[in-house]
């Protein structure tokens, strides 16, 4: 029987911890939620408020950044989005993933004629019945105009 040194056992254990586990394949519901959020992010350059608001549930909530209170209800979400919609150039989605009814995306929002040139952050979306119920954004970095 071959003896394994304590050093080898510890090294092998640490190496095993460093290997990422394979992510489970998304369920059909998660794939559908990813598509909804992807389509939502892709729709911003159209500057069509009705098109964007069609993605939201009536009881929607939207928090622009972690330092702000959420806008509660579809009317309040509409008002918040109207404040900067026409300044959006595009949303550059870098990565998206879903777990159950939640979709997370890292993205850079690009603006023109606005106080920000870009916003880099993570969006957290909660979906139910094919609609966005909650959308909260968390800032990584901003670039001032």
Query: What's the confidence (pLDDT) of residue 21?
Result: 53
Query: What's the confidence (pLDDT) of residue 3?
Result: 61
Query: What's the confidence (pLDDT) of residue 4?
Result: 57
Report yes or no on 14 lying in a domain.
no
Report yes or no on 11 lying in a domain.
no
Ranges in the chain, pLDDT < 50: 7-12, 14-19
Report yes or no on 17 lying in a domain.
no
- The CATH number for 95's domain is 3.10.450.50
Report yes or no on 116 lying in a domain.
yes
Report yes or no on 18 lying in a domain.
no
pLDDT, tens digit, 9 for 90 and up, residues 105-133: 999 999 999 999 999 999 999 999 999 99
Report yes or no on 3 lying in a domain.
no
Report yes or no on 23 lying in a domain.
no
Report yes or no on 13 lying in a domain.
no
Domain containing residue 49: 28-144
DSSP-assigned letters across all residues of the chain: -----HHHHHHHHHHHHHSPPPPPPPPHHHHHHHHHHHHHHHHGGG--HHHHHTTEEEEEEEESSTTSPPEESHHHHHHHHHTTGGGEEEEEEEEEEEETTEEEEEEEEEESSSSEEEEEEEEEEEEETTEEEEEEEEEEEEEE-
Count of domains for the chain: 1
């Amino acid at each position: 029987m071959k003896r394994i040194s304590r050093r080898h056992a510890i090294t092998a254990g640490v190496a095993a911890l460093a290997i990422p586990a394979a992510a489970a394949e998304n369920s059909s519901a998660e794939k559908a939620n990813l598509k909804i959020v992807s389509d939502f992010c892709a729709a911003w350059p159209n500057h069509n408020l009705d098109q964007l608001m069609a993605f939201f549930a009536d009881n929607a909530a939207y928090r622009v950044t972690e330092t702000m209170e959420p806008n509660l209800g579809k009317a309040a979400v509409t008002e918040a989005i109207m404040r900067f919609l026409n300044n959006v150039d595009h949303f550059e989605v870098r990565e998206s993933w879903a777990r159950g009814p939640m979709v997370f995306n890292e993205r850079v929002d690009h603006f023109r004629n606005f106080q920000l040139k870009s916003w880099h952050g993570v969006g957290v979306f909660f979906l139910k019945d094919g609609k966005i119920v909650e959308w909260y954004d968390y800032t990584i970095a901003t670039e001032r105009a």
